Structure 1
């Protein structure tokens, strides 16, 4: 996602699912339902300094790439990092995101056949 309107619409009207270090918002798109899932990330200064924030964003991008390749289509997903996200190792952060994603997709009314939630 590139526009603040898309972020705002997903956060306001999407389904919210929280885990220890992430909050995930998912919304089914009314247009472009057959297009790949779009991701957006919110990593505030509360997560840490620039090095830590960029580390978290790189990890989120890698997880998003896996979902885009194998997961549901036609969704807008925003992942918000909570302050403890930078201290989590890769596998734990991945488990939290996948768990939240599976739950959010089910709540949003999508199919989560290829999400490990």
Structure 2
């Protein structure tokens, strides 16, 4: 499986805003997921980390960890969803992120 998201698996800026505006939301502890149904043959996703999280190095690391957690559980996600994942807490390990993401997907009944 390819580890970097292809162009068709990434949300564009307008699609990102549309999901934020119209998507359903769910939150567990320090992570939020906003999702909406779409009628394509793949799952598109984006990761967001706010400026209050820390400096650029910390934000980029949080994004990398969450993207990698997504790649480990993406096989269980059915096609046809746009996902925006937002991180709030610092210093969370990769295994904890995987567990949180799996729990969040089960909570919203798409994983």
TM-score, with length taken from structure 2: 0.80
* Aligned equivalents of 1:63, 1:54: Cα separation in 2: 14
> How far off is 1:91 after superposition?
1.6
Given the alignment, which residue of 45, 59, 63 partners 2:65? 59
Matches within 5 A, 1:7-46: 7-29=16-38, 31-32=39-40, 35-46=41-52
Moved over 3 A (4+): 67-70
Q: Write the deviation string for residues 30-85 of structure 1: whole angstroms up to 9, x where unpaired.
A: x31xx121110111111111111111111111122223334211100000111x1x
- Tell me the SS of whatever aligns to 1:87: coil
Is the CA contact 2:11–2:45 (under 8 Å) kept in the aligned structure 1?
no
> How far off is 1:87 after superposition?
1.4
For residue 89 of structure 1, what is the aligned residue in structure 2?
93
* Aligned equivalents of 2:26, 2:82: Cα separation in 1: 14
* Aligned equivalents of 1:13, 1:55: Cα separation in 2: 28
* Aligned equivalents of 1:48, 1:64: Cα separation in 2: 22
Give the gaps of 5 or more residues in structure 1. 107-111
- Tell me the SS of whatever aligns to 2:85: strand
